[in-house]
Amino acid sequence: MNIERLIEEIEAADSYKRYGRVKRVVGLMIESQGPESSIGDVCFIHIKGKRKRMIKAEVVGFRDEDVILMPYTTVADISSGSLVETTSKPLEIKVGSSLLGQVIDPLGEPLDGSKLPHGLTAVPTEENPPNPLSRPPISSPIEVGVRLIDSLLTVGNGQRVGIFAGSGVGKSTLLGMIARNTKADLNVIALIGERGREVREFIERDLGPKGLERSIVIVATSDQPPLMRIKGAYTATSIAEYFRAKGLNVMMLMDSVTRVAMAQREVGLAIGEPPTTKGYTPSVFSTLPKLLERTGTNETGAITAFYTVLVDGDDMNEPIADTVRGILDGHFVLDRNLANKGQYPAVDVLKSISRVMNNISVKEHIHAAEKLRELLSTYIQSEDLINIGAYKKGSSKEIDEAVAIYPKIISFLKQRTDEQISIEESIQQLYALVGRGEMN
């Protein structure tokens, strides 16, 4: 840092501390008289008495001359008249390569209570998405190590994909497979709104030691305040952006973006926003694009992102699913019927799409994938006739071909969680199954 810049920063520094007083607490909301602050600023609420400490809160709005705050923890022990001190800046977290292998909370602190490693850099959790003209086109595939995805739904380096599923269909297992097998430089994994029991299970069973050593995991469980769940998503995105700026290819996995939207709805309703579609407030639908557009490519690196979306009652057209599907570059649909049959990963190939596959794959690969889709679609459309014996062999050449190859297709679509396969092997197995070249 040169002397001129140091002098400028000293001159620009605000040497005053600004304070206010808690006026009232209603539900999740804390209303205070002062201090002078802006939306997004972090404040400290000073707690007196036996449990003397400071509670972090964030400015989320204003009512007349009063400041509306929401805490990152519970509102317990906050009393009328408690001192409120503003930091005059938004939340920052510390990040660096020594954070790999760590499990942290949305404020960037290790979840096991240990101290952060040295040599980390402070970065803000909220940033603007890259300029559209600074985003290079997605031109190369990235290996995720799942045969079905690499061969039929090829993902590009810097693509953003939604994984749409109901509860208990295997989305966490699929994320674990991607995290372990991907050829990205590192993983950033955000577990938002998860049950406390599932966090350790995911880290030890689905992710495993091999996956954890090249990952940073951010955890905000369902019992935490809504602001913490929202910050979990922003913190994970900031960490991924930091490594992208270093020129790395980052794999970001967020489970789930639906719970981020639900947390934003809680905040919106608490500060007086009107509920709209299915009770979601307008801020939900403005927050989602800002969050999701931060990932992808820029001039230095790429963030390939997978966001899981919980679909209520397997309804793919509910508001959050519909909004997210319109923002992202592809969607993978997990089908409960396939899971019930024991077909894992339970991805419904015919309902899923990768919007950049045609730009990053060779023609013979695209035609082979289309051929498999055609055969699978032909069989499924005729499945009822085949099962009741109403179809006679020889009536249709297409159906006969589909019936003959269907067991091999199902075997191709299945993959054990411990099975690792490269993208080249996946494509070669696709060619061996349906051939290559132009479709008939």
CATH of the domain at 296: 3.40.50.12240
Tokens of 181: 């097998």
Does 106 fall in a domain?
Answer: yes
Is 410 exposed, middle or buried (CB count within 10 Å of its CB: 0-12, 13-18, 19+)? Answer: middle
- The alpha carbon of residue 280 and the mean position of all alpha carbons in its chain are separated, in whole angstroms, by 19
Does 408 fall in a domain?
Answer: yes
Does 439 fall in a domain?
Answer: no
Does 10 fall in a domain?
Answer: no
- Dump pLDDT digits (tens) for 233-265: 999 999 999 999 999 999 999 998 999 999 999
Domain ends where: 90, 123, 152? 90
Average pLDDT in the chain = 90
- Give the chain's count of helices (H) and strands (E): 14, 17
Q: 175 and 119, same structural domain? A: yes
Domain limits for position 43:
17-90
pLDDT at position 158 is 95
Cα–Cα dist 340/314, whole Å: 14
List residues bridging with 203 in a β-sheet. none
Q: 144 and 71, same structural domain? A: no
Does 2 fall in a domain?
Answer: no
- Dump pLDDT digits (tens) for 278-294: 889 999 999 999 999 99
pLDDT at position 19 is 87
pLDDT at position 396 is 84
Domain ends where: 360, 385, 403? 360
- Dump pLDDT digits (tens) for 409-418: 999 999 998 8
Q: 86 and 168, same structural domain? A: no
CB-CB contact of 329 with 355 (8 Å): yes
Q: 284 and 135, same structural domain? A: yes
CATH number at residue 415: 1.20.1270.330
Q: Given pLDDT bands bounded at 50, 70 and 90, which one contains residue 86? A: very high
Q: 269 and 152, same structural domain? A: yes
Does 330 fall in a domain?
Answer: yes
Among the ranges 59-73, 152-166, 306-320, which has the highest mean pLDDT value? 152-166
Of 323, 344, 325, give the one whose Cα is nearest residue 335: 344
The residue that leads in pLDDT, 57 or 11, is 57
Q: 173 and 129, same structural domain? A: yes
Tokens of 27: 């539900």
Q: 225 and 149, same structural domain? A: yes
Q: Given pLDDT bands bounded at 50, 70 and 90, which one contains residue 439? A: very low
87-96, 117-126, 379-388: segment of lowest average pLDDT: 379-388
**pLDDT score of 42 more than 90:** yes
Cα–Cα dist 349/372, whole Å: 10
Which residues are CB-contacts of 83 (< 8 A; sequence separation ≥ 6)? 19, 20, 21, 45, 46
- Dump pLDDT digits (tens) for 357-402: 999 999 999 999 999 999 999 999 988 787 777 777 878 888 899 9
CB-CB contact of 72 with 58 (8 Å): yes
Does 238 fall in a domain?
Answer: yes
Total domain count for the chain?
3
Q: 83 and 117, same structural domain? A: no
Q: 290 and 254, same structural domain? A: yes
- Dump pLDDT digits (tens) for 6-23: 777 766 666 677 889 999
Averaged over 77-93, what is the pLDDT?
89
Does 12 fall in a domain?
Answer: no
Cβ neighbours around 314 below 10 Å, total: 16
**pLDDT score of 227 more than 50:** yes
**pLDDT score of 51 more than 90:** no
Cα–Cα dist 304/184, whole Å: 9
Domain ends where: 62, 90, 118? 90
Q: 226 and 158, same structural domain? A: yes
Q: How far is CA 341 from CA 141, 313, 358, 373, in A?
A: 31, 19, 31, 19
Residue with tokens 């954070």: 99
pLDDT at position 313 is 65
Cβ neighbours around 370 below 10 Å, total: 13
pLDDT at position 395 is 80
